Amino acid sequence: MVMLQRDESEQGVYQAARNCGHCAQCGRGLKPEEPVWREVFQFYRKRMTLGGMPFTVAPVCKRCHLEYDGWAPAKPCEKCQRMVVNLRRFNRVHTFCSRLCEVRYYSHRRKKAPAQQMCGECGEVFKPTRSDSLYCSNACRQRSYRKRAKKSV
């Protein structure tokens, strides 16, 4: 059986892991629709000197990927839809081709606060500055507060 580990020391491997712009093995540029296999690259020397990660997972192209029975079925990257084959042992709930896609995916989700909201007092549609704001202005918030205070008397 093939040992699925490659000992590379190129900066290109990190670059490929970051944005999936090229194959980490042959350096060929990858088209958006090309599938990638995410292989493990080891960096023994860098681990000693920089205290970095002992390995990195980087994408390689169809031509370069190793035949291995530990590959999971291909899944689309949840950000860019590129087909991605991960090692079964690295298989997670979410699939991404690169770190950039992962970061973009999560930052997009976090920003999903409502773009518009209706004021709970005057009914005016406004842009909330905070995700928990209920009123268009301080005046409306105070008016609403006073109404409620009156009712409870």
Residue 30 makes contact with Zn ion by CB under 5 A: no
- Using CB under 5 A, count the residues that bind Zn ion: 17
Query: Taking the complex as a whole, how short is the minimal distance between the CB of residue 35 and Zn ion, in angstroms?
Result: 11
Q: Which of 80, 83, 87, 118 binds Zn ion (CB under 5 A)?
A: 80
- Residue among 58 and 119 whose Cβ is closer to Zn ion: 119
Q: Is 97 in the site for Zn ion (CB under 5 A)?
A: yes
SS (H, E, C) the chain: CCCCCEECCCHHHHHHHHHCCECCCCCCECCCCCCEEEEEEECHHHHHHHCCCCEEEEEECCCCCCCCCCECCCEECCCCCCEEECEHHHCCCCCCCCHHHHHHHHHHHHCCCCCCEECCCCCCEECCCCCCCCCCCHHHHHHHHHHHHHHHC
Q: Does 38 bind Zn ion (CB under 5 A)?
A: no
The residues binding Zn ion (CB under 5 A) are: 23, 25-26, 61, 64, 77, 79-80, 82, 97, 101, 119, 121-122, 124, 136, 140
